[in-house]
Amino acid sequence: MAARHPRRWKDNLMFDHYRPYANHCQQNSRTRVVYYYFDFADNQKQTFAGFLKSIIYQLASVQEIISSPVAELYNKHGGLQEPRSGELIEVVMEELANPQRTYLLIDALDECLKDERQILFNTFLKCSLPANLSMLVTSRKEPDIEAALKGSFSHTICIQSSVIDSDVRTHVSNVISRDSTLQRWKPAVQQEILEAIVQGSHGI
């Protein structure tokens, strides 16, 4: 069996907790939930531009009528040219200005390329974000990220510890119990896999 990056297991956990709430919010026309994962396995998903385009797409997809800023951006580039970051930020800010309550979840910020996340810090986070926007950011502890986010968020919780191991263990146990291939392996081997993943996750 191919080894999986510890980050993958953690993100499955986040998705498990996030999905029911997102589904609930989608039924509430006054609330929007936007999620972005800086995927370590996909270079296109490690960039600031990729982050902005995903936010625009998600916000636009829940509207019955495409907003003027989004339509104008598309018409300007016709799907043939990549818009500049400044144009993307402008559209994002206009979309976020919508009176609906918006929850923005940014997962694995540390997987964003360092130069790219500096752009994010110096542009998006420096913007005057609307009061109806709530953000949740997850990341490994990196000096530049801690410095950039310090003072910008009301709560900071460290989960990079043994406390999260029980959640990882529960999730992996459930995955193993549902996997038809792994179920054919001896219990001792299943336990070895479980312990290796929990230890390799390092509390993340």
Residue 6: pLDDT over 90: no
The single residue listed with the structure tokens 């982050």 is: 51
**In degrees rounded to 5, what are phi and psi of residue 62?**
-95, 0
Reported as a single tens digit per residue, the pLDDT across 38-73 is: 998 888 889 999 999 999 999 998 888 899 999 999
pLDDT band at 20 (very low <50, low <70, confident <90, very high): low
Which class is domain 6-157?
A: alpha beta
Q: What are the residue ranges spanned by the domains of the chain?
A: 6-157, 162-204
Give the residue from 33, 59, 46 showing the smallest Cα distance to 116: 46
Residue 200: predicted pLDDT: 75
Give the residue from 171, 174, 160, 143 showing the smallest Cα distance to 13: 171
Reported as a single tens digit per residue, the pLDDT across 69-110 is: 999 999 998 767 889 999 999 999 999 998 889 999 999 999
Query: Which residues neighbour 139 within 8 Å (Cβ) at sequence distance 6 or greater?
Result: 108, 109, 110, 145
Reported as a single tens digit per residue, the pLDDT across 173-184 is: 999 999 889 889
